Structure 1
Amino acid sequence: MEASWLETRWARPLYLAFVFCLALGLLQTIKLYLRRQRLLRDLRPFPAPPTHWFYGHQKFLQEDKMEKLEETVEKYPCAFPCWVGPFQAFFFIYDPDYAKTFLSRTDPKSQYPYRFMTPCLGKGLLNLDGPKWFQHRRLLTPGFHCDILKTYVDMMAHSVNTMLDKWEKICSTQDTAMEVFEHINLMALDIIMKCAFSRETNCQINSSLDPYVKATVELRKIIFYRMYNFWHHHDIIFKFSPNGHLFQELSKVLHQHTEKVIQDRKKPLKAGMKQDNTQKKKYQDFLDIILSAQAENEDSFSNADLRSEVNTFMLAGHDTSAVSLSWLLYCLALNPEHQERCREEIRSILGDGSSITWDQLGEMSYTTMCIKETFRLIPPVTSISRELSKPLTFSDGRSLPAGITVVLSIWGLHHNPAVWKSPKIFDPLRFTKENSDQRHPYAFLPFSTGPRNCIGEQFAMLELKVAIALILLHFKVTPDLTRPPVFSNHIILKPKHGIHLHLKKFPKC
C-alpha cells in the first residue's frame, strides 16, 4: 500500500510549519477583530461621517480638501471618530471645551505621525516625551529669551531686503505676476541659518541649499501619505516600497546637511580656537546653547540628541515661518483695505524702513491682528495629537478609554461656526483686546498651549513682523485670480503649486 505524503520525512516539517503559520494568522485575525469591535464600542457615543468598511476615511484624509473638514465640523459638533483602515481610528476634536480638557493633561504625543518622522529627524522636542523632553526643553528655552531675539532683528531685515532686491529686479512700476512662495521659503531658510546657526549660506542668491529644501518637501509628502495608508504603517512593508527607498535617500540629504553645520562649528572648538566671529557676537545662538548643553550634560545629552535638535529646529524653524508669511501675504492681497491699513501703520512707525527696532515692532498693533487672523484662517500646523495614557471624560460627560489617539484639529477649531462668526471671512478685528477677552481661551491655538506649546512662537512672530513690514513698504500685492493657491496638507499646510501674486513696486521717494 502506498504511503501517504504526510508520512514522508520531508513533508512533516512543512506540514507542521504550515499549521503553525495558519494558527498564528488565525490568532492575529481574532486579535484584530476584537480590536475593531472594542473601538466600535468605545466610539459609539460619537457619530461619524460615512466610512468604507476596509479603507475607513482614508480617501477623505488624503484628498487635501480642507472644505470637507469644514463640512464635517459643522455637521458633527465637538468631535468625530476618523478611521484609517479597518483596525485603527483617530479621534478628531475641534471644540474649545474639548481642547481645554485634552490639553490640560500630560498624555504622551501620539506615535502618529511622529514615529514616521523619527528616522529622518531623530528624537527632539517635537517627538520626545517624559523626563527626556523636559530636560531638552529646559536646556533650550534660554535660546528664545527676548534679549537674544532682539539681536535677530537686523539679521532678519537683511535677509528680507535680499529677497526684496531680487523682486525689484524682476518687477517694475507696472504689475508683475510672480510665484512668491519659493522666494519666501529660501528667505526663511536664510534667516534660520543666520540667527540660529550664525551661518552665512547665500542661499537666496546661489540656491546652494536647493537639495536640502527639495528633500524636506518630498519627505513631508511621504510622511503624510504613510500616516494615512495603513499598509505602510508596517516598517518592513514601507521599507521595501518605492516610497521607503526614496525616504531613506532623502533622509541622508538631511543628515549630511545637519552634520556639516555641526562639524563646521565644532572644528575650531576641537582645535582650541575661539568660534568664528566670537568677539563680534554679543549673544549665544541656538547652536551655541545646545553645544553648551551637551558639554555640561555629556551623559544625558548625546551626539544623537544634538543632531535631533538641530534637525528639528532647522526644519520646523524655516518651514512654518515661510508658510505663515506666504499665507499672510496672500490674505492681505485678497483684502486690500486691510493691506493698506497695515501699510499706513507701518509707515507711521518705521518711515522708509531703513532701520527697524524691537520696540517699533511692538507698536504694530493692527498688523499683529492681521497676522493672528491669518493664523486663524490658515493655520500652518493643522493638528496636534496625543495618545491617551488614561481614560478621558469631556465636559459633556462623554468619555474615551486609554490608548485612543486624540487629534486636536486646529483647522477645525479655527473654522468652527459655533465658536467664530462667519469663520471664512478675514476679519482682523476679532483680535482686538475686547473681542479676545470675551472669547474662550482655547478657541485660538495656532501654537498650541500649555507646557508643550511651540518654543519658537516669539521667534516666528518676530520674523513675520519684520518681513511683512518691509514687503508692504516696498510693494503693493494683489492676487493672481487665474492661479488661486491649492492647499497641500503635508504635516504643514503648504500651497501645492505656490502662491501667485501681482506685485507693484512703489517708486522711491
Structure 2
Amino acid sequence: MESSWLEAHWTRPFYLAFAFGLALGLLQAIKLYLRRQRLLRDLRAFPAPPTHWFHGHQKFLQEDKMEKLEEVVEKYPYAFPCWIGPFNAFFFIYDPDYAKTFLSRTDPKSQYVYKFLIPGIGKGLLSLEGPKWFQHRRLLTPAFHFNILKTYIKVMAQSVNMMLDKWEKICSTKDTTIDVFEHINLMALDTIMKCAFSQETNCQINSTHNPFIKATFEMGKIIFYRVYSFLHHNDIMFKLSSKGRRFQELIQVLHQYTEKVIQDRKKSFKDGMKQGNLQEKKYQDFLDIVLSAQAENGDSFSDDELESEVKTFMIAGHDTTSTGITWLLYCLALNPEHQEKCRDEIRGILGDGSSITWDQLGEMSYTTMCIKESLRMIPPIPSISRELNKPLTFPDGRSLPAGMTIVLSIWGLHHNPAVWKNPKVFDPLRFSPENSDQRHPHAFLPFSAGPRNCIGQQFAMLELKVAIALILLRFKVTPDPTRPPVFSNHIVLKPKNGVHLHLKKLPEC
C-alpha cells in the first residue's frame, strides 16, 4: 500500500508535466496550422510553381541557378508566392507596375532578411527604419555630393592602374587567363577605403586574400542560406549549428577590421582639432561627416551606430561595385563587338588615359549604355524585400494583407520577357535615349527606386566608368570557355568560383 502511494506521489508531477507539454505542443501545432491556412487564403489569387509539402520552394531557391527563376518568371509573368517551409511564404514580384506600387510606399525592411543581417553589420543606413533612418540618410547624403565625387576620380584611377600594373606583370610577354574577380575585389576595397575613409591600406600589394573580403564573402553566403532555410530561422538552433559558430567568428573579423579604421581616424581627427588644421583636406569624406556629427552632438551618433555605418559602407561600397565591374567585364568579354565600340569611344575621349575628368566620363555615352545593360543582365543586388505594414492592392486589383513579406526580384524584373524583348541577349541600345524614353520607369532598377533608393549609386556608376575605361585602354578581354562562371546565391550576386578571363595586353597608343 505504501509503495503504491509513493509511486503515485512521485509520478504525478511527471504526468502533469507531460500533459502540460503535450497541450503546449498541440497549441503550437494548431497555431501553425491556422497560420498556413491563413497564408493559403491570402495567396489564393496568385498561382505558384509546384511546392514540396515540407520544404516548400527551398531547394529551388538554394540551387544557385538563376535560370530556374527565369523559367518561373516566364510562366508566372507578374508574381508568385514562394514557400519557405510549410508555414512561411514570401511573395516575389517582378512586374514594373507591381514594383512601382511596392516602392512608392514606406514599408519597413523585411525582418526575415535584416534580422539575420544585423548581427553581422549592425543597424546602419541599410537596416534602420523611421526617424533614425531619415536622420542618418540626411546626415550622410552630403558625402555623395557631385563636388565630392569629382575629387574621387583621381583616387579611383590610381587604384585601378595599380591593379592593371599587376595584370601586366602577370601577363609579362604572353597572354594569360586570370580570375579577375579576386583582383577587382581588392581594387574596390582599396578604392572605398581611400575615398570614404581616407585610409591607405596597400591591400592590393600586401594581400591577395584580404581577411575582410573573405569574411564578407562567407558571411553573405551564410546569411542567404539562413534566410531560405526555415529550420535555421530560430536563433538558438542557428547558434548551435556549425554555420552559426562560423558566423560568430566572421563577426569578430569584421569588428576588428572596422574598429581599427575608426580608432585610427578618431585619433587623427582629434589631433587635427587640436592643431586646428581640419580645413586642410580638399574634401570631407564619409567618416569626416560622421565624426564631425559626433564631435558636435554626441547624441547624433553613438559608437555602435558609428561602427554600424562604417561596416555598412565598407561592405556595400566595395562589394556591389566590385561585383558590378566584374560582371561588366565578363559581358564585354562575351560580346567583343561591343567591347571594341567601347574601346574606340574611350580612346577618342581619353587618349592614353593619363588623365580623366568628370566631364570626359559624361561623354562616354555608348560605354554607359553597356554598363546599364550589364546591370540589367546581371544586377549585383538580385532582390530587395519589405514587410507590408498595411494592405497593398496592385494595379490589377489583386491584394495582399499587412504582415506579408514582399521580395522585389530585380533579376526577375530585368529578365521578364513581358518587359524586355529577348532578355538573354546583350543589347546596349536598349538604353539609347529614344528606347529609354519609351520604357516603363520601373523596368530597370539596379539601384532600387523610391525614398530608399541606393545612396551610393552615383559613386558606383563613377567607379564602373573609371574602371572599365582604364581596363579597356590597356587590355583586350575574352572568356575562358573551360571555366564559365557560376552564380553564388548571396545578398550580392557574386561568382561562385571567380570569373576567369583571357587577358591580352594592348600596344600603347
TM-score, with length taken from structure 1? 0.97
The CA distance in 2 between the partners of 1:115 and 1:276, in whole Å, is 42
Query: Cα distance, 1:489 vs. partner?
Result: 1.8
Preserved contact between residue 415 and residue 424 of structure 2 (Cα < 8 Å): yes
Task: Give the equivalent residue in structure 1 for 2:25.
Answer: 25
The CA distance in 1 between the partners of 2:299 and 2:463, in whole Å, is 35
The CA distance in 2 between the partners of 1:239 and 1:448, in whole Å, is 32
Where do 1:118-267 residues align within 5 Å? 118-172=118-172, 174-207=174-207, 210-267=210-267
Where do 1:372-383 residues align within 5 Å? 372-383=372-383
Preserved contact between residue 269 and residue 275 of structure 1 (Cα < 8 Å): no
Query: Cα distance, 1:295 vs. partner?
Result: 2.6
The CA distance in 1 between the partners of 2:193 and 2:463, in whole Å, is 13
Query: Cα distance, 1:20 vs. partner?
Result: 1.7
**Deviation string, structure 1 residues 164-187 (Cα, Å, up to 9, x no partner):** 000000114543111111000000
Identity of aligned residues (%): 80
The CA distance in 2 between the partners of 1:315 and 1:402, in whole Å, is 32
Query: Cα distance, 1:507 vs. partner?
Result: 1.8
Query: SS at 2:267's partner residue?
Result: helix
Cα distance change of structure 1 residues 350 and 134 upon mapping to structure 2, 3 Å threshold:
same
The CA distance in 2 between the partners of 1:4 and 1:59, in whole Å, is 55
Query: SS at 2:340's partner residue?
Result: helix
**Deviation string, structure 1 residues 428-480 (Cα, Å, up to 9, x no partner):** 00001110010001000000001100000000000010000000000011111
Task: Give the equivalent residue in structure 2 for 1:319.
Answer: 319
Task: Give the equivalent residue in structure 1 for 2:417.
Answer: 417
Query: SS at 2:493's partner residue?
Result: strand
The CA distance in 1 between the partners of 2:299 and 2:441, in whole Å, is 40
Preserved contact between residue 201 and residue 208 of structure 1 (Cα < 8 Å): no
Task: Give the equivalent residue in structure 2 for 1:462.
Answer: 462
Letter of the 1:462 counterpart: L
Task: Give the equivalent residue in structure 2 for 1:53.
Answer: 53
Query: SS at 2:489's partner residue?
Result: strand
Query: Cα distance, 1:8 vs. partner?
Result: 3.9
Letter of the 1:470 counterpart: L
Query: Cα distance, 1:279 vs. partner?
Result: 6.0
Preserved contact between residue 328 and residue 374 of structure 1 (Cα < 8 Å): yes
Alignment partner of 1:281 is 2:293: no
Preserved contact between residue 173 and residue 506 of structure 1 (Cα < 8 Å): no
Preserved contact between residue 78 and residue 95 of structure 1 (Cα < 8 Å): yes
Query: Cα distance, 1:272 vs. partner?
Result: 6.5
Query: SS at 1:413's partner residue?
Result: helix
Preserved contact between residue 486 and residue 495 of structure 1 (Cα < 8 Å): yes
Cα distance change of structure 1 residues 412 and 274 upon mapping to structure 2, 3 Å threshold:
farther
Preserved contact between residue 390 and residue 403 of structure 2 (Cα < 8 Å): yes
**Larger deviation, residues 172-181 vs 78-87:** 172-181
Query: Cα distance, 1:278 vs. partner?
Result: 4.8
Query: Cα distance, 1:423 vs. partner?
Result: 0.2
The CA distance in 2 between the partners of 1:417 and 1:196, in whole Å, is 39
**Larger deviation, residues 278-287 vs 312-321:** 278-287
The CA distance in 2 between the partners of 1:178 and 1:349, in whole Å, is 29
TM-score, with length taken from structure 2? 0.97
**Deviation string, structure 1 residues 96-141 (Cα, Å, up to 9, x no partner):** 0100111111111101211101111000111111111111101100
Letter of the 1:425 counterpart: V
Preserved contact between residue 350 and residue 356 of structure 1 (Cα < 8 Å): yes
Query: Cα distance, 1:4 vs. partner?
Result: 4.6
Where do 1:292-307 residues align within 5 Å? 292-307=292-307
**Deviation string, structure 1 residues 212-235 (Cα, Å, up to 9, x no partner):** 111111111111111111010000
**Larger deviation, residues 180-189 vs 200-209:** 200-209
The CA distance in 2 between the partners of 1:336 and 1:385, in whole Å, is 36
Query: SS at 1:323's partner residue?
Result: helix
Cα distance change of structure 1 residues 379 and 153 upon mapping to structure 2, 3 Å threshold:
same
Preserved contact between residue 173 and residue 507 of structure 1 (Cα < 8 Å): no
Query: Cα distance, 1:209 vs. partner?
Result: 6.9
Cα distance change of structure 1 residues 309 and 12 upon mapping to structure 2, 3 Å threshold:
same
Task: Give the equivalent residue in structure 2 for 1:368.
Answer: 368
Query: SS at 1:490's partner residue?
Result: coil
Query: Cα distance, 1:210 vs. partner?
Result: 1.3
**Deviation string, structure 1 residues 190-229 (Cα, Å, up to 9, x no partner):** 0000000000000001018711111111111111111111
Alignment partner of 1:401 is 2:401: yes
**Deviation string, structure 1 residues 5-35 (Cα, Å, up to 9, x no partner):** 7864433333222222221111111101100
Query: Cα distance, 1:273 vs. partner?
Result: 5.0
Letter of the 1:489 counterpart: N
Query: Cα distance, 1:294 vs. partner?
Result: 2.3
**Larger deviation, residues 184-193 vs 16-25:** 16-25
Preserved contact between residue 345 and residue 366 of structure 1 (Cα < 8 Å): yes
The CA distance in 2 between the partners of 1:178 and 1:31, in whole Å, is 54
Query: SS at 2:379's partner residue?
Result: coil
Task: Give the equivalent residue in structure 1 for 2:107.
Answer: 107
**How many residues end up aligned between the 2 structures?**
509
**Larger deviation, residues 333-342 vs 272-281:** 272-281
Letter of the 2:235 counterpart: D
Preserved contact between residue 369 and residue 429 of structure 2 (Cα < 8 Å): yes
Task: Give the equivalent residue in structure 1 for 2:499.
Answer: 499
Preserved contact between residue 5 and residue 11 of structure 1 (Cα < 8 Å): no
**Larger deviation, residues 10-19 vs 284-293:** 10-19
The CA distance in 2 between the partners of 1:117 and 1:224, in whole Å, is 9
Task: Give the equivalent residue in structure 2 for 1:116.
Answer: 116
Query: SS at 1:359's partner residue?
Result: helix
Preserved contact between residue 80 and residue 93 of structure 1 (Cα < 8 Å): yes
Task: Give the equivalent residue in structure 1 for 2:96.
Answer: 96
